[in-house]
C-alpha cells in the first residue's frame, strides 16, 4: 500500500516511526510545510519524494491513502482535498477546530465512499483498550472518569520545544481526547456539559486553564482539568472509577486502584498507540470496512466540543 504522509513535525515523525513496524506499507511522499525541514525528514526516513504541494503528492502513481499530521487549522481543507482526490485519509486529532469543519469532512467522506479515520489514539492505547474490553464484556460499568491534562507551555512551542507555526488549544485539541474517550467508553453521548476557563494569555490569545464536566443519560460522569500552567509532570492521567474496580491509566501503563501495575502485553500486537491506530487504518482499507475511530464515529465528540465552546462563550458574555 502506497501512502502520503502530510506534515513533517513531531507527530508526523511519530507516525513514520510506527509505520516502519508495519509490513506492506510504503510512504512514497512527504508533503510538508517548510521545504528545508520536509526534505530533511524525508531523507531521514528514506522517503523518495517530498513536496510542499499536497496535490502533487496525491497524484503520484499508486497512492491509495494519506495520513494528515499537519497543523490543526489545515486538517479540514486537506482532508477534503484527499477525499475528493479519491484517496482514503486518516486525520490526526483533532480532525478540525470547529464542528462545521468536522461536518465538511464527514460530508466529503460520504460523498467519496472512501475511508476517513480520526487519529483518536486513546481508543487504541493498550491501557484504555484493556478497560474497554472489560466494559464490552460486561465486567465493568463506568461510573466516573477523572482526567488531568497538564502541560507547562507559555510559549508557542511543540513537544520538542521548537517554535510552532500554529497555536495549540486546550478545548479543541487536548479536551478532544477525553471527550471522545468518555463517550466511547460509556457508549453514550454526553447529555449534560459545562465548561469554565481561566484568563486568556496576552500573547497566545488562548485560555491557559480549563475545567470541563460531562454526564451521560445513564448517569456516568467525567471531570476534566486542563492546564498549560502546570509546573510538574506533564501529560494526561486517567482514573476510571467503575462499579467493579478502579483503574489508573498513565500513557501506555495501567494500574489498579491500589497502584498495582497491570500486564498489558496480551492486549495488542504493540504497546504504541499511534502504531496501533495506523494498523487499524490500513487494515480497514484492505478489508473495505469502517475503522474504529472513523470520522462518523468521532463526530459526536466534535458536537460535544461545540456545546462546551458555547458554554464558554456564554460565560464570557
Q: What is the pLDDT of residues 88-97, one digit of tens each?
A: 999 999 999 9
What are the Cα distances from residue 172, in Å, to 27, 218, 311?
A: 29, 25, 14
pLDDT at residue 221 greater than cutoff 90: yes
More confident residue, 314 or 279: 279
Whether 280 contacts 124, CB under 8 Å: yes
pLDDT at residue 315 greater than cutoff 80: no
pLDDT at residue 317 greater than cutoff 80: no
Confidence of residue 251 (pLDDT cuts 50, 70, 90): confident
Q: What's residue 205's pLDDT?
A: 82
**% of the chain at pLDDT higher than 70:** 96
Cell numbers found for residue 164: 510552532
Q: What's residue 152's pLDDT?
A: 86
Residues of the chain with CATH 3.40.50.720: 2-120+274-291
Confidence of residue 165 (pLDDT cuts 50, 70, 90): low
Confidence of residue 203 (pLDDT cuts 50, 70, 90): confident
pLDDT at residue 121 greater than cutoff 70: yes
Please state which CATH number belongs to domain 2-120+274-291: 3.40.50.720
**% of the chain at pLDDT higher than 90:** 87
More confident residue, 204 or 39: 39
Whether 172 contacts 180, CB under 8 Å: no
Give the chain's mean pLDDT: 94
Question: What is the mean predicted confidence (pLDDT) over 66-75?
Answer: 96
Q: What's residue 167's pLDDT?
A: 62
pLDDT at residue 156 greater than cutoff 70: no
More confident residue, 232 or 91: 91
Residues of the chain with CATH 3.30.360.10: 122-268+302-316
Q: What's residue 252's pLDDT?
A: 83
Confidence of residue 148 (pLDDT cuts 50, 70, 90): very high
pLDDT at residue 161 greater than cutoff 70: no
Question: What is the mean predicted confidence (pLDDT) over 7-17?
Answer: 95
Whether 184 contacts 132, CB under 8 Å: yes
CA 72 from centre of chain: 11
pLDDT at residue 233 greater than cutoff 90: no
Q: What's residue 17's pLDDT?
A: 98
pTM of the model: 0.94
Identify which of 162, 4, 160 has the alpha carbon closest to the alpha carbon of residue 68.
4
CA 179 from centre of chain: 11
Q: CATH classification of 122-268+302-316, choosing from 3.30.360.10, 3.40.50.300, 3.40.50.2000, 2.60.40.1180? A: 3.30.360.10
pLDDT at residue 125 greater than cutoff 70: yes
Question: What is the mean predicted confidence (pLDDT) over 222-237?
Answer: 93
How far is it, in rounded angstroms, from Cα 309 to Cα 35? 35
Amino acid at each position: 500500500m502506497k501512502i502520503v504522509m502530510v506534515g513533517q513535525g513531531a507527530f508526523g515523525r511519530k507516525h513514520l516511526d510506527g509505520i516502519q513496524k508495519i509490513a506492506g506499507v510504503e510512504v512514497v511522499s512527504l508533503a510538508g510545510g517548510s521545504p528545508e525541514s520536509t526534505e530533511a525528514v524525508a531523507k531521514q526516513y528514506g522517503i523518495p519524494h517530498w513536496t510542499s504541494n499536497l496535490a502533487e503528492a496525491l497524484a503520484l502513481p499508486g497512492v491509495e491513502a494519506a495520513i494528515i499530521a499537519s497543523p490543526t487549522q489545515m486538517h479540514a481543507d486537506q482532508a477534503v482535498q484527499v477525499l475528493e482526490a479519491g484517496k482514503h485519509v486518516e486525520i490526526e486529532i483533532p480532525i478540525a477546530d470547529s464542528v462545521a469543519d468536522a461536518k465538511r469532512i464527514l460530508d466529503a467522506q460520504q460523498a467519496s465512499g472512501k475511508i476517513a479515520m480520526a487519529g483518536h489514539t486513546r481508543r487504541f492505547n493498550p491501557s484504555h483498550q484493556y478497560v474497554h474490553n472489560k466494559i464490552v464484556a460486561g465486567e465493568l460499568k463506568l461510573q466516573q472518569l477523572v482526567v488531568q491534562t497538564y502541560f507547562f507551555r507559555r510559549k508557542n512551542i511543540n513537544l520538542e520545544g521548537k517554535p510552532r507555526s500554529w497555536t495549540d488549544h486546550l478545548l479543541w485539541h487536548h479536551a478532544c481526547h477525553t471527550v471522545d474517550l468518555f463517550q466511547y467508553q460509556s457508549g453514550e453521548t454526553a447529555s449534560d456539559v459545562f465548561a469554565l476557563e481561566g484568563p486568556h494569555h496576552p500573547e497566545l490569545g488562548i485560555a491557559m486553564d480549563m475545567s470541563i464536566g460531562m454526564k451521560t443519560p445513564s448517569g456516568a460522569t467525567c471531570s476534566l482539568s486542563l492546564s498549560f500552567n502546570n509546573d510538574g509532570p506533564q501529560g494526561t492521567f486517567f482514573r476510571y472509577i467503575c462499579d467493579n474496580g478502579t483503574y489508573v491509566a498513565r500513557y501506555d501503563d495501567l494500574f489498579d486502584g491500589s497502584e498495582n501495575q497491570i500486564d498489558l502485553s496480551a492486549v495488542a500486537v504493540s504497546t504504541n498507540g499511534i502504531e496501533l491506530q495506523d494498523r487499524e487504518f490500513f487494515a480497514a482499507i484492505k478489508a473495505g470496512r469502517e475503522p474504529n475511530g472513523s470520522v462518523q464515529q468521532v463526530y459526536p465528540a466534535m458536537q460535544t466540543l461545540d456545546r462546551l465552546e458555547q458554554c464558554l462563550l456564554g460565560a464570557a458574555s
